[in-house]
């Protein structure tokens, strides 16, 4: 039999708890796809993938499918896992178990063996013929058994029992568990499982709440993390591409000592923060990684998520960039646990930056004010200028305070009158002297003395509540407010060219796009976390691309 030891990767021959391999997962649905699948694997290997998982769910039934599987295993450009996933665990194999037994028997007869073969734990336990067939393949080659369980609904209630059963199986070389994450707390539990594993283990928390489990697999001893060659070729929710893992998330550099930072809010999937900060970490030779940490709206979900992060010593959790809707929750949390609020946070009542000091104490800062005021200050005189502000969230409060401190007059427009009035009253109470801030219903109808219009909502943002909307019309305003003399500032930076920005550009207004605010904030955060100066030229190039 052709031995799988033809590929002698040390981390596959002997378990190393802190080497995690990027595994490209490729689904092959028809024998005619074998050649292109092999080429995809070669391309993935050239990008840095170290294993390939052949998903052959639909090739187990007929002899032609078996021969296709032989070719995939025989001609693989790197060590491979052969997986025929049944429907009940998220795959496409819906045949009789004898079909999978036939596939395994054909491999034995052909003298071909993958590095690993993946079999669901439930199928392994209930089907004697499958155990016998796979057992023969294991005995006659160096193929290893990945015993797995998957739940696309959420964390299994009996997860501990399932793990006990799989760890007790002598034939299992690797134990794999995958479930759909419902919060980042699922990812943290998954990483705890890896840290406590008795041997080689794969933990996959699927979906948007599970991305950090994929990026940090190596930090906690995961044998591998799955990836795809392109975003259109993913085989599970939340799966990243090889390029994203290596170039956006510094996967090859993540180790047990790596400091972990997060971008926390909802949504955060389209945030550029991880790309910019991780690029900066790399250029500064700083051992850190930033990952997306989506947390749904609400104080309780925020409090529980942040508390869990802080309660994981092995995570080396070191800080957060916080966005909507949790900026007010961050300042509240840090104050309640006895941390330090900077003067600007105390004045704004919200924070967008968390620093976890070496002794575990917390510092909350707010860089939103300078992020808004700084770019505006470069193109206009704020003192005495009337500014229309769209939005009434945490970022809007910080922007209003920054503008008022510069002597501007602020008029707030927002869909929720109650929230807008609350912001106006709150801001007035926070200022040491009388200021000019008021609420007007609807949106601005004409220029009406306004020198600037700033959007502090998430309307127009990729992944936001309405990416195609302009906040001006959404709030009941009129495009007549946009004139050649107007300064227009949009805090949304993904994309840079929002519907509001396009609308303002057509009017001839002077436009400040969201990257100006974003870069100013990010640079200050980067300096706070690393002590290094942010690589602004590189960051601007990344945003421009």
Alpha carbon 32 to chain centroid, angstroms: 35
pLDDT in tens, 33-76: 999 999 999 999 999 999 999 999 999 988 999 999 999 999 99
Residue 464 is predicted with a pLDDT of 84
What mean pLDDT comes out for the span 4-20? 47
> Of 323, 341, 342, 344, whose CA–CA distance to 333 is shortest?
341
Q: Where along the chain do its domains lie?
A: 4-249, 259-366, 369-518
CATH number for the domain running over 259-366? 3.40.50.10860
pLDDT tens digit string along 280-311?
999 999 999 999 999 999 999 999 999 999 99
386 phi-psi bin (left φ>0, alpha ψ -120 to 50, beta other): beta
For the annotated catalytic residues, the residue numbers are 327
Query: Collapsing DSSP states into helix, strand and coil, what is residue 24?
Result: strand
What order do you get walking across the sheet with 201-206 strand by strand?
Answer: 201-206, 172-180, 144-151, 116-120, 80-83, 51-55, 21-27, 224-228, 240-241
In the CATH hierarchy, which fold is given to the domain comprising 4-249?
A: TIM Barrel (3.20.20)
For position 2, what pLDDT does the model report?
43
> pLDDT tens-digit profile of 211-235?
999 999 999 999 999 999 988 888 8
Domains 259-366 and 369-518 are alike in CATH topology: yes
- Burial degree of 285 (CB within 10 A; 0-12, 13-18, 19+): exposed
The pTM of this model reads: 0.88
Local confidence band at 129 (pLDDT 50, 70, 90 cut-offs): very high
pLDDT of 14 > 60? The answer is: no
- Whether the Cβ atoms of residue 380 and residue 451 lie closer than 8 Å to each other: yes
* Spatial separation of the C-alpha atoms in residues 33 and 68, rounded to whole Å: 9
Q: Does domain 369-518 have CATH number 2.120.10.30?
A: no
Up-side HSE of residue 172: CA atoms within 13 Å toward CB? Answer: 25
The tens digit of pLDDT for each residue in 233-270 reads: 888 999 999 999 999 999 999 999 999 999 999 999 98
Q: What is the pLDDT of residues 369-422, one digit of tens each?
A: 989 999 999 999 999 999 999 999 888 999 999 999 999 999 999 999 999 999
C-alpha closest to that of 7 among 134, 142, 107, 106: 142
Can you tell me which residue has the tokens 């909502």?
457
Tally of CB atoms within 10 A around 14 = 8
**% of the chain residues with pLDDT over 90:** 89
154: left (phi over 0), alpha (psi -120 to 50) or beta: left
Residue 427 pLDDT: 95
């Amino acid at each position: 039999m052709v031995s799988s030891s033809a590929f002698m990767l040390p981390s596959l021959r002997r378990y190393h708890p802190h080497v995690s391999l990027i595994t490209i997962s490729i689904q092959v649905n028809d024998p005619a796809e074998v050649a292109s699948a092999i080429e995809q694997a070669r391309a993935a290997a050239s990008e840095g993938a170290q294993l390939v998982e052949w998903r052959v769910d639909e090739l187990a039934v007929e002899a032609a499918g078996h021969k296709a599987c032989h070719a995939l295993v025989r001609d693989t450009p790197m060590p491979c896992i052969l997986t025929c996933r049944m429907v009940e665990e998220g795959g496409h194999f819906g045949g009789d178990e004898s079909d999978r037994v036939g596939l395994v028997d054909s491999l034995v007869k052909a003298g071909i063996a993958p590095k690993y073969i993946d079999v669901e734990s439930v199928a392994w336990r209930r089907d004697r013929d499958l155990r016998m067939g796979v057992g023969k393949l294991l005995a006659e080659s160096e193929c290893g058994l990945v015993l797995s369980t998957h739940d696309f609904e959420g964390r299994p209630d009996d997860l501990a029992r399932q793990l006990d059963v799989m760890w007790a199986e002598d034939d299992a070389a690797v134990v794999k568990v995958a479930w759909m994450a419902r919060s980042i707390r699922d990812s943290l539990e998954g990483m705890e499982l890896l840290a406590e594993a008795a041997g080689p283990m794969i933990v996959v928390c699927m979906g948007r709440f599970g991305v950090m489990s994929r990026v940090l697999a190596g930090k906690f001893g995961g044998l591998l993390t799955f990836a795809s060659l392109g975003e259109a070729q993913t085989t599970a929710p939340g799966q990243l591409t090889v390029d994203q893992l290596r170039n956006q998330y510094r996967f090859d550099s993540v180790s047990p000592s790596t400091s972990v930072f997060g971008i926390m809010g909802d949504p955060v999937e389209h945030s550029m923060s991880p790309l910019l900060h991780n690029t900066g970490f790399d250029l500064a030779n700083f051992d850190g990684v930033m990952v997306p940490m989506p947390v749904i709206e609400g104080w309780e979900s925020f409090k529980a998520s942040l508390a869990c992060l802080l309660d994981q010593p092995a995570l080396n959790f070191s800080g957060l960039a916080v966005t909507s809707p949790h900026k007010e929750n961050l300042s509240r949390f840090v104050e309640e646990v006895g941390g330090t609020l900077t003067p600007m946070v105390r004045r704004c009542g919200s924070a967008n930056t968390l620093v976890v000091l070496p002794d575990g104490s917390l510092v909350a800062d707010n860089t939103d004010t300078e992020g808004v005021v700084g770019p505006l200050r470069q193109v206009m005189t704020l003192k005495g200028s009337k500014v229309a502000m769209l939005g009434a969230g945490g970022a809007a409060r910080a922007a209003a305070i920054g503008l008022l401190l510069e002597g501007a007059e602020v008029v707030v427009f927002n869909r929720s009158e109650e929230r807008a009035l609350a912001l106006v009253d709150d801001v007035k109470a926070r200022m040491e002297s009388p200021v000019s801030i008021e609420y007007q219903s609807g949106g601005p109808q004409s220029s009406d003395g306004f020198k600037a219009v700033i959007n502090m909502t998430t309307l127009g943002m990729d992944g936001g509540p309405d990416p195609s909307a302009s906040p001006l019309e959404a709030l009941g305003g009129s495009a007549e407010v946009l004139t050649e003399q107007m300064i227009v500032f949009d805090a949304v930076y993904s994309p840079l060219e929002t519907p509001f920005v396009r609308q303002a550009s057509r009017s001839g207004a002077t436009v400040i796009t969201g990257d100006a605010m974003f870069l100013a904030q990010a640079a200050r955060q980067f300096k706070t976390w690393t002590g290094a100066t942010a690589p602004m030229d590189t960051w601007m190039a990344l945003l421009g691309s």
